[in-house]
């Protein structure tokens, strides 16, 4: 017993000495259960570890997923299409991932993000002649009716959460699309803007208190009549940047998509997929993310899921119903009476990757597709847009949610015959075009 006490005492003394000499801080990475060393930074006192799975529990969590930085665009683009499964009815999906890129196209909140936020309204000094600046100017309208014009980017100092309509993150840099300034300031008192601010009377300050009720206004700099007036515009979304700190948390819920690039796993319809970038699309999506050691840990669940995207490939199959007809174009239909129409009649989002024209008249048919957009956490990977033996033309939506449809007018040489073959995450669809006779 005395020997054990001596050993414990020696070990304790050595640990204390190491801590005193090196200033070592132990940081627990969210979701990974790993311990990493850090020499500390300017983020202030250590923050509590946040596990996203505590907010959105996902079976298995991130167990077995290596925390890693995202692969390059080319490496992801070269990944083969994973095996797929068809959705026989409504279904649910889950996502778990760890990486340096995250994207949410769903409303959410950055918890405690106000004090780490900055933005640029693009304002100019109100005394600048209209001929030397933009036609409109933005300002901060305080409850006392004073107008302050922020010159350049300014940051916020104070408590509060930031509500967003969409968000992307690469490492600690988080870019938010925010519907209004009020969504940034919230209702928390004591928020201060730090930067350079002027009034039209020449008053200046570098710290501007923003009490509840502060809004952003936009005025015409060269309006008819005397003096600047309010521009007749709707609400303009704001671009807000948040500098992530250890344990910064993001919560999102609603209709949209969550994606993570690095190492990720998705589950749906009794299947599991892993990839370099994974996204789930759902009407009833709940997602949570936490930041530590320059990586994000993300979990998400969609109880009314529409698609799982693995390496920018859809892995849940659906079905299309398509036809062609001739009809008199409506006011917004364009000049072409030849129409093509298809509808997603399945239970997952559809993606057309290629369209091929067959028949003698196919090369004269004006038809083209757009590429996939998103599903890659900001990597810039796109797929599809392969059109064979067709003349090309205006892009037609290649991606449809369940129940959605598209109808477009096509140009073609009268009296010829042509068929368009659509291929994607659905059984091949052949549409014989109802080309009018000459």
Query: Which pLDDT belongs to residue 234?
Result: 56
Q: What's the pTM?
A: 0.83
Query: Which pLDDT belongs to residue 235?
Result: 61
Residue entry with tokens 């300031």: 185
For 188-204, what is each residue's pLDDT tens digit?
788 999 999 999 999 99
For 309-363, what is each residue's pLDDT tens digit?
999 999 999 999 999 999 876 545 456 789 999 999 999 999 999 999 999 999 9
Residues with Cβ within 8 Å of residue 331, at least 6 apart in sequence: none
Query: Which pLDDT belongs to residue 229?
Result: 53
What are the backbone dihedrals phi and psi of residue 6, each rounded to the nearest 5 degrees, phi first?
A: -65, -40
3-state class (DSSP) for residue 307 = strand
Query: Which pLDDT belongs to residue 48?
Result: 56
Give dist(CA 52, CA 98) in Å, integer: 11
Query: Which pLDDT belongs to residue 2?
Result: 42
8 Å CB contact between 398 and 370: yes
What would the two tokens of residue 125 be? 């000094």
Query: Which pLDDT belongs to residue 34?
Result: 31
| Nearest partner of 84 among 300, 272, 257, 261, judged by Cα | 272
Give dist(CA 77, CA 102) in Å, integer: 18
Regions of the chain short of the pLDDT cut 70? 1-49, 223-235, 329-335
For 113-163, what is each residue's pLDDT tens digit?
999 999 999 999 999 988 888 888 999 999 999 999 999 999 999 999 999
Sheet containing 320-326: which strands, arranged edge to edge?
A: 320-326, 338-344, 405-409
Query: Which pLDDT belongs to residue 231?
Result: 58
Q: Measured on CA atoms in the order 405, 319, 305, 99, is the torsion positive or negative?
A: negative
Query: Which pLDDT belongs to residue 186?
Result: 81
Give dist(CA 68, CA 239) in Å, integer: 28
8 Å CB contact between 349 and 306: yes
What would the two tokens of residue 363 be? 């090369």
Parallel, antiparallel or unpaired: strands 316-317 and 320-326: unpaired
Helix (H) or strand (E) holding 15: helix 2-22
What would the two tokens of residue 257 be? 């998509």
């Amino acid at each position: 017993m005395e020997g054990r006490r001596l050993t414990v005492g020696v070990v304790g003394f050595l640990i204390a000495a190491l801590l005193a000499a090196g200033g070592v801080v132990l940081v627990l990475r969210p979701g990974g259960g790993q311990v990493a060393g850090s020499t500390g930074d300017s983020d202030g006192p250590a923050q509590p570890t946040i596990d996203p799975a505590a907010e959105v529990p996902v079976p298995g969590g991130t167990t077995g997923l290596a925390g890693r930085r995202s692969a390059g665009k080319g490496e992801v683009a070269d990944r083969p299409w994973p095996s797929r499964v068809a959705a026989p009815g409504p279904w649910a999906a889950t996502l778990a991932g760890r990486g340096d890129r995250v994207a949410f196209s769903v409303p959410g909140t950055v918890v405690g993000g106000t004090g780490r936020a900055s933005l640029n309204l693009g304002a100019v000094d109100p005394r600048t002649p209209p001929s030397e600046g933009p036609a409109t100017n933005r300002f901060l309208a305080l409850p006392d009716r004073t107008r302050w014009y922020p010159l350049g980017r300014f940051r916020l100092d104070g408590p509060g959460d930031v509500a967003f309509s969409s968000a992307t993150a690469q490492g600690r840099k988080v870019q938010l699309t925010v519907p209004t300034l009020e969504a940034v300031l919230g209702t928390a008192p004591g928020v201060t803007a730090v930067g350079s601010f002027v009034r039209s009377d020449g008053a200046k300050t570098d710290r501007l208190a923003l009490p509840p009720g502060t809004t952003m206004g936009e005025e015409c700099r060269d309006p008819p009549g005397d003096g600047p007036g309010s521009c007749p515009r709707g609400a303009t979304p704001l671009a807000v940047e948040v500098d992530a700190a250890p344990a910064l948390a993001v919560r999102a819920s609603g209709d949209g998509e969550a994606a993570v690039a690095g190492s990720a796993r998705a589950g749906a319809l009794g299947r599991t997929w892993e990839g370099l970038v994974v996204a789930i699309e759902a009407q009833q999506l709940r997602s949570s993310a936490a930041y530590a050691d320059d990586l994000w840990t993300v979990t998400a669940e969609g109880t009314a899921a529409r698609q799982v995207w693995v390496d920018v490939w859809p892995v849940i199959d659906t079905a299309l119903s398509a036809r062609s007809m001739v009809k008199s174009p409506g006011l917004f239909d364009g000049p072409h009476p030849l129409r093509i129409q298809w509808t997603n009649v399945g239970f997952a989002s559809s993606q057309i990757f290629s369209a091929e024209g067959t028949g003698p008249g196919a090369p004269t048919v004006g038809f083209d597709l757009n590429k996939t957009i998103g599903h890659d956490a900001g990597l810039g990977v796109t797929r599809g847009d392969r059109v064979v033996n067709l003349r090309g033309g205006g892009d037609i939506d290649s991606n449809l949610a369940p129940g959605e449809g598209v109808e477009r007018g096509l140009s073609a040489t009268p009296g010829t015959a042509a068929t368009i073959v659509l291929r994607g995450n659905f059984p091949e669809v052949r549409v014989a075009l109802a080309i009018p006779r000459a």
